[in-house]
Chains A and B, each alone.
Chain A
Amino acid sequence: MKIAVLVYGSPTASSAAATAYRYARAAIGLGHQITRVFFYGEGVHGASALAAPPQDEVNWGQRWQQLAQEHEIEMIVCIAAALRRGVLNQQEAQRHGKSAANLAAGFELSGLGQLADAALNSDRLITFGG
């Protein structure tokens, strides 16, 4: 089954990122394909390269990066939600006159059309933190 995942909840104020990650891994383990993970709302904070949790805690952004690399999963971050919350790639940082960019490698800023497309072209779209 082709499954897309929507992460709407904050990585620190909710368990959305962690639960979504475990779900994605479990689904892949059962032979399903995770086509795309879309980060929206507070979920976009999970794509910040500047999150520096203590050594003995999990960095969910890094977990997503590894999973995406291993299984060729697109990780799309809603550009409007990200800009509003200070998650910027180099191009957007320049465009908005900001001194730094912080979108982690493996994540891509794009529009809500990618979520609509995921809804249309996947067998399931599963939301975390809605």
Chain B
Amino acid sequence: MSTPDKQLLVVVGAGPHNATRARDALDLVLTSAAFEIGVGILFRDDAVYQLLPQQQADAIDAKSLAANLQALPLYDVEQLYAPRSALEARGLDPDNLLLPVQLLDDNATAALLHSYGQILSF
């Protein structure tokens, strides 16, 4: 595993089907994990919509991200975070999400960003 200063936090702000940003971010996460870089994800803003279960991507001719997202634990990517405010603002139920994310208040989000050596935003 990479040293603390090389731990990577991928910050995603895009919804699941907002162009390719969500997939670009996820691809980087999976690649980094394969390189044994310690990697976490912060789902912020509309990216929390990626966490909604039972999406039917095929209805808009899109590819589902769900299978890739659910594979994250298999890649030892377990540092998953979302600001509680992003869920509340969109009326999403934190008890009914695709992945076990840690919900953070604003101070904790700031502390999280501070704790990672490298941050890449999508």
Q: Interface of A with B (CB < 8 Å)?
A: 6, 8, 40-41, 80-81, 84, 111-113, 115-117, 119-120, 125, 127, 130
Contacts and interface: CB of A to CB of B under 8 A. Distances in A.
Interface core residue of A112, A113, A115 (most chain B CB under 10 Å) = A112
A116 B21 contact: no
Interface stretch (B49-57, B59-67, B91-99, B114-122): B114-122
B24 A81 contact: yes
Given A119-B8, A119-B37, 13 more contacts: A8-B122, A40-B24, A41-B20, A41-B21, A41-B122, A80-B27, A112-B27, A115-B31, A116-B28, A116-B35, A119-B118, A119-B120, A120-B37
Interface in B1-23: 2, 6, 8, 20-21
B118 A125 contact: yes
Interface in B66-122: 118, 120-122
A127 B122 CA distance: 10
A111 B6 contact: no
A5 to B, nearest CB: 12
Given A113-B31, A120-B6, A81 B20 contact: yes
Interface string B34-50: 11010000000000000
